[in-house]
Amino acid sequence: MDKLFGIPMDGLALTLAAILAVLLVPVLWTLLFNRIMFRIGLRNIPRRKAQSALIVLGLMLSTLIMTSAFGFGDSLNYSIKSDIYRELGPIDETITVKGQDEESGGLALFPESDYVGLAVQVAGEPAIETLVPALEAPAAVRAGDRNAPGAALMGLPTDQEMQELRAANGTALPDLDENEVLVNEALAEELELASGDTVEVFAGPQPLEITVAGVVPDGGLAGTEPRMLAPLEAVQELTGAGDRLSAIFVSNRGDAEAGVEETGAAVEALEAATAGTGLSVEATKQDGLSGAEEVANAFTSIFMILGLFSVMVGVLLIFLIFVMLAAERKPEMGISRAVGTKRRHLIQSFLSEGALYSLLAAAVGAGLGVLVSWLLIGTVGRIFATLEPGWTFSFDITPWSLIAGYSLGMIITFTTVLFSSWRVSRLNIVAAIRDVPEPENRRLRGRSTVIALLALVGGAALSAVAWQQIWGSAFWLGTSAVIVAAAVLVRRFVASERVAYSLAGGGLLAWWFGSFWLDDRVERIYELSGGFEMFFLSGVMLVAGAVWLVMYNAQSVLSLATVIFRRSRSLAPVIKTATSYPLAYPFRTGLTLGMFALIVFSLVMMSVISESFSGDEEAIREYAGGYMVQGSANPNNPPQNLEAAISEDPELRDRVAGFATVSTAPAEVREAGGESEFAEATLQGVDEDFLRENEFPIKVRAEGYENDREVWEALRDDPNLAVVSAMNVRMENAFIVGDTGFQLKSVSYEQDTMRPTEITARNPQTGEETQYTVIGVLDFARTFDIYTSEAGLERYAGMAVPPNQYLFRLKSGAEEVATARELESAFVTNGLQASSMTAEFEEQNSTNDTFNTLLQAFMGLGLLVGIAALGVISIRSVVERRQQIGMLRAIGFKRRMVQAAFMIEYSFIAVVGIAIGLVLGISLAYLLLTDDQIAGTGAAFSLPVTQLAVIVGIAYLAALVATYWPARRAANIPVAEALRYE
């Protein structure tokens, strides 16, 4: 990627590297001027190699996530750009009739004299190298029993110099005889053609037998979709176009890549030369490359935001590791302080150790991040290969992305290390030497009170400003800070620790879950819903609240479990022993619970939402509007008397119940009465059958219309009315990449009713304006389409517009795919391309499911950290409790009881963490999917029981595997050795 969020990648990488260098200054200072503390810090790393390996595994995650996200973005950007260069070749700009697009019902033509005049005017322009006039016409092709209804016939001058079009057998465009064509590789592959083959071409009312003179490589003027190439004059004669053209292709000075740099000057010259001609200049290649950058940025953002769950888990692990290291070395640190070591020396020691851990982990994380990004782009390539067989995805990562990924991951890790080192250095010397709990420090209590007051005031101020400015994330972060700060103050002055933090946990849960109730009743709360980042923020706050609530009330629940198993001579002491240690250290236990809960929460949310959007039969019918087979035909040779043709065909007569036709026209549209600029849209003129039979649901109806049927009947009766797609109105929390096209700013998709709204549609070719009144918003967002009746479209176009889309209703039991194939076969001369809407819907869902699985796998990397955390805890707890283990064995505990106690202890942590994530994930998904903002989008809350069972099972089994060896090791410690341990 050249830029991320509008910031040049080289500048971003250098800035992050500079910040990292500043953060490492204290470590460098320690190395140069206090080597004793530096060596004391480093000597602990090789002492316990297994523990050090687990620490590196946990610390590497931030770098892995960031590097893989950047690498994936680089690869996606590189792959799309490579495809664009391959597809367009030397073509940099394209000139067509204004408003022309693929859905506008055929290619609008313009006189060849416009090209002649343009060529004269830009002849001296240094940025422009070549102009090529062209005429492209839809032309269905049949070769034996194979059909290519979507093929095209391209006419080009035989003396054009933009690109040599020469087949492998040496035949070039000037060499073609009458009724000979060159075909590109796409068409040759689809119809299995070779030089000398004869095909039937349907570019007009009568078929024409044409010989394939050769096969040319795809790309550039040859295109990447099925295409035939012939001399321009021959195509003009065959299609009856006369001396008219459909496009002018422009190649800038330089090769296929260097020519893009001349786009600005070339477009400026071309627009000046085409002014007043009704022609439009499109920077085809530059727009495609910009789109590639946008797509890469969007996917990088998605992976980074979802990866924040794993990054947060990594931060918690770093903090947990240093807390446990401090607990292990507490007497050592106390003695060091007693003999004259300053607090800053302890910080330097821990910081040196943490810096080496971080450097090693960042290097490992960067390397694995490259590997993960390679796997991601390979998987995405396989996903898109089913949709666009011509697309290729290649791995590519730039040095700047590596530097940025390494530096950002290292900054996150080392900042946490820095804070952790400062925190663990705060100790009472006497308590540390005796290895007893820290006494209450009045000074620290006063400091925490001041911090809580500042957090309360700061959170309230942030919330107030965010309320006024409509900053979603800032508002929810500020209000959450107020809840937490209030709990600290309650603990300080009013209630016990358990009551205060239970209130804080419950308050966070109530506030975040209650927001779904509030946004239906308070408009500003609805406006503060935020964007995609709220997924991460809500997860962190909900998990924090749940962990607080559980940890400060776990004793009551475990007491009940102890009572239940009190009669078991083996289980009762084991359960009591297993649960007492985690509860004796609530801080470290809470951190571990939070790690597991965060990862499970994110995975469960993704699973439930993905399952809920998969759609059932009813959702598919709504998606298709009841027209289960849909298609398009050659506008130059549309089907004639379609109803009679269907009734005369016994196969179709038994399958097709009826059909609707749709006519389209390009338009420039804006909301009337406002100052918004015109934006591109497509006007759809629908026939009587569509208005009477369609099942497309309407999400927002104008006032005065009781149901959807009344809206469609009004469109039938009044040509001044229109209905718009969901893409044409505001979507508060939509994640849309690229141009949003025409939008009604006064109407939101989340509304139920609207006021009738006036829009102005301007004809891009004539400049004439037509007024429509919008009375509804469709509940689907497939395209930027505006629907009116056939008469309504005729008002805009000034004449009847022939249909180019055909929608078929099927009889009960008719198979969609077979019907689509039968329709294509029956109307092959008209170039009819039909498709099953169920197959299309399921293909999209399959792609979405595969991509969601990919995201879940990416997010599941955080589970490695949770496992590493349990591994570190279990190893450390065995070391810390050797004497306790010896005493338990001495008073009668058997080895299996010791092992069982440790396994139950770790299972308690894993199970509670998994349960918190599972319950929160399902609850939030339910509230989200049943909210009014989502209702009607085809989503229906559904639990993927099997997938959730797999997530829970993998998480729990992985936790058991990580802790089995330390538990077994604890059980095998000799009694005498354990009792003598100091």
Is residue 212 over pLDDT 50?
Answer: yes
Average pLDDT, the chain: 83
Is residue 526 over pLDDT 80?
Answer: no
CA atoms within 13 Å, Cβ hemisphere of 855? 24
Q: What is the pLDDT of residue 737?
A: 47
Is residue 915 over pLDDT 80?
Answer: yes
Q: What pLDDT band is residue 907 in, cutting at 50, 70 and 90?
A: confident
Is residue 755 over pLDDT 60?
Answer: yes
What proportion of the chain, given as a percentage, has pLDDT over 90?
Answer: 28
Tell me the per-residue pLDDT of 161-185, one tens digit each, with 9 for 90 and over.
899 999 999 999 999 998 899 999 9
Is residue 290 over pLDDT 50?
Answer: yes
Residue that wins the pLDDT comparison between 927 and 756: 756
Q: What is the pLDDT of residue 783?
A: 62
Token pair 């951190």 is at which residue? 591
Q: What is the pLDDT of residue 565?
A: 59
Q: What is the pLDDT of residue 388?
A: 62
Is residue 196 over pLDDT 50?
Answer: yes
Contact 214, 171 (CB under 8 A): yes
Tell me the per-residue pLDDT of 508-519, one tens digit each, with 9 for 90 and over.
999 999 888 887
State the CB neighbour count (10 A cutoff) for residue 264.
12
* b/e 465-494 (16+ beta carbons within 10 angstroms → b): ebbeeebbebbbbbbbbbbbbbbbbbbeee
DSSP annotation string for 73-120: HHHHHHHHHHHHHHHHTT--EEEEETT--TTSSS---EEHHHHHHHHH
Instruction: Tell me how far apart the alpha carbons of residues 663 and 724 are, in angstroms, rounded to a whole number.
Output: 15
Q: What is the pLDDT of residue 656?
A: 92
Q: What pLDDT band is residue 692 in, cutting at 50, 70 and 90?
A: very high
Q: What is the pTM of this model?
A: 0.77
Q: Which three-class secondary structure state does DSSP give residue 48?
A: coil
Is residue 275 over pLDDT 90?
Answer: no
Tell me the per-residue pLDDT of 853-893, one tens digit each, with 9 for 90 and over.
777 777 777 777 667 666 777 776 776 777 777 877 787 77
Q: Which is it for strands 244-245 and 757-762: parallel, antiparallel or unpaired? A: unpaired
DSSP annotation string for 200-263: EEESSSS-EEEEEEEEE-SSGGG-SSSEEEEEHHHHHHHHT-TTEESEEEEEESSSTTGGGGGH
What are the tokens at 688?
Answer: 């009587």
Residue that wins the pLDDT comparison between 635 and 797: 797
Q: What is the pLDDT of residue 936?
A: 47
Q: What pLDDT band is residue 714 in, cutting at 50, 70 and 90?
A: very high
Q: What is the pLDDT of residue 739?
A: 55
What are the tokens at 129?
Answer: 């190298």
Span 526-546, average pLDDT: 83
Residue that wins the pLDDT comparison between 740 and 126: 126
Most confident option among 221-235, 303-317, 519-533: 221-235
Residue that wins the pLDDT comparison between 393 and 690: 690
Span 687-711, average pLDDT: 91
Q: What is the pLDDT of residue 43?
A: 84
Q: What pLDDT band is residue 824 in, cutting at 50, 70 and 90?
A: confident
Q: Which is it for strands 721-724 and 679-686: parallel, antiparallel or unpaired? A: unpaired
Cα distances from 783 to residues 498, 743, 832, in angstroms, run 55, 12, 21
Most confident option among 168-182, 421-435, 547-561, 949-963: 168-182
Q: What pLDDT band is residue 933 in, cutting at 50, 70 and 90?
A: low
Q: What is the pLDDT of residue 378?
A: 84
User: Which of 286-290, 487-491, 524-528, 938-942 shows the lowest per-residue confidence on average (mean pLDDT)?
Assistant: 938-942
Most confident option among 283-292, 385-394, 444-453: 283-292
Counts for the chain of helices (H) and strands (E), in that order: 35, 28
Q: What is the pLDDT of residue 569?
A: 60
Contact 824, 832 (CB under 8 A): yes
Q: What is the pLDDT of residue 154?
A: 94
Is residue 925 over pLDDT 90?
Answer: no
Span 663-668, average pLDDT: 88
Is residue 148 over pLDDT 70?
Answer: yes
Residue that wins the pLDDT comparison between 367 and 581: 367
Q: What is the pLDDT of residue 734?
A: 53
Is residue 106 over pLDDT 70?
Answer: no
Q: What pLDDT band is residue 69 in, cutting at 50, 70 and 90?
A: confident
State the CB neighbour count (10 A cutoff) for residue 510.
12
Cα 863–Cα 869–Cα 872 angle in degrees, nearest 5? 145
Q: What is the pLDDT of residue 1?
A: 63
Is residue 980 over pLDDT 70?
Answer: no
Span 339-343, average pLDDT: 85
